[in-house]
Chain A
Amino acid sequence: ETGVTQTPRHLVMGMTNKKSLKCEQHLGHNAMYWYKQSAKKPLELMFVYSLEERVENNSVPSRFSPECPNSSHLFLHLHTLQPEDSALYLCASSQRLAGGYYEQYFGPGTRLTVT
């Protein structure tokens, strides 16, 4: 595997289900991100992890719970979602150095439908 991978690619879940999205990066980066892309809206940053520590949480509802066990893996745990949470969820990674965060590389995304 190369680059950034995400599983599953498609997910349909009911509002009472619990599921998890997985992201893995093979680029040797030390920062990882979750973005949400809803229809007709710009990509929205949800969470940023740097060196496995959450450094950004953009007012995301608690029904989304991220986990970063190491610098290569990132999860997004989902529970009691709403239909408006249906969207494309994108994972990205980049290198973080003293000067800041650098070029981000994205995975193929998980298309989530909440019924």
Chain B
Amino acid sequence: GIQVEQSPPDLILQEGANSTLRCNFSDSVNNLQWFHQNPWGQLINLFYIPSGTKQNGRLSATTVATERYSLLYISSSQTTDSGVYFCAVAGANSKLTFGKGITLSVRP
């Protein structure tokens, strides 16, 4: 199956800083999603982005499918951005495979 690697595994930021989270995958994909898991376990949809670039407020994402990676950008980070960020991809079988996640801590 498709392998998903996220980096860095942990990230500590000062409030107001910008960051880039990376997701590499091992095969062509039909689906790529970024999620934010809050401290209560809820997975919140950030982007559905199998290719191209999208922006939503302070967050944006770019997927370069031909090079098998996706980037999530967080600008002007806030303490509420803390949590775990997951990248998940699906190939031809449509089965969503998750990476191990990136734990982000934003300090005031």
Binding site for B on A (CB under 8 A): 33, 37, 42-43, 45, 48, 56, 88, 90, 92, 96, 99-106, 108-109, 111
**Bound complex: CA A45 to CA B96 (Å):** 8
> B86 in the interface, Cβ–Cβ < 8 Å?
yes
Is the Cβ of B99 less than 8 Å from the Cβ of A100?
Answer: no
Q: How far does the alpha carbon of A48 sit from the alpha carbon of B97 in the complex, in Å? A: 13
Cα distance A87–B45 in the bound complex, in angstroms: 21
- In this complex, how many residues of chain B approach chain A with their Cβ under 8 Å: the count is 22
Classify the secondary structure of B's interface with A.
strand
CA distance in complex: A100, B45 (Å): 19
From A43, A102, A108, contact of B42 by CB (8 A): A108
In the assembled complex, the CB of A31 is this many whole angstroms from the nearest CB of chain B, namely 9
Q: Is A90 touching B43 in the complex (CB atoms < 8 A)?
A: yes
Give the contacting residue for A102; candidates B31, B92, B95; CB below 8 A.
B31
CB distance from A68 to the nearest CB of B (A): 17
CA distance A66 to B40 in the complex (A): 24
B31:A100 contact, CB within 8 angstroms: yes
Q: With A42-B98, A42-B101, A45-B95 in contact, do A103 and B86 touch (Cβ < 8 Å)?
A: no
Using CB atoms, name the residue of chain B closest to A111: B41
Whether the Cβ atoms of B90 and A101 lie closer than 8 Å is: yes
Q: Tell me whether B94 is interfacial, beta carbon within 8 Å.
A: yes
- From residue 58 to 97 of chain B, which have CB atoms closer than 8 A to chain A? 86, 88, 90, 92, 94-97
Known: A100-B90, A104-B88. 8 other contacts (CB 8 A): A42-B97, A42-B99, A42-B101, A96-B94, A101-B96, A106-B45, A108-B41, A109-B43
Q: In the complex, what distance in Å separates the CA atom of A19 from the CA atom of B95?
A: 27
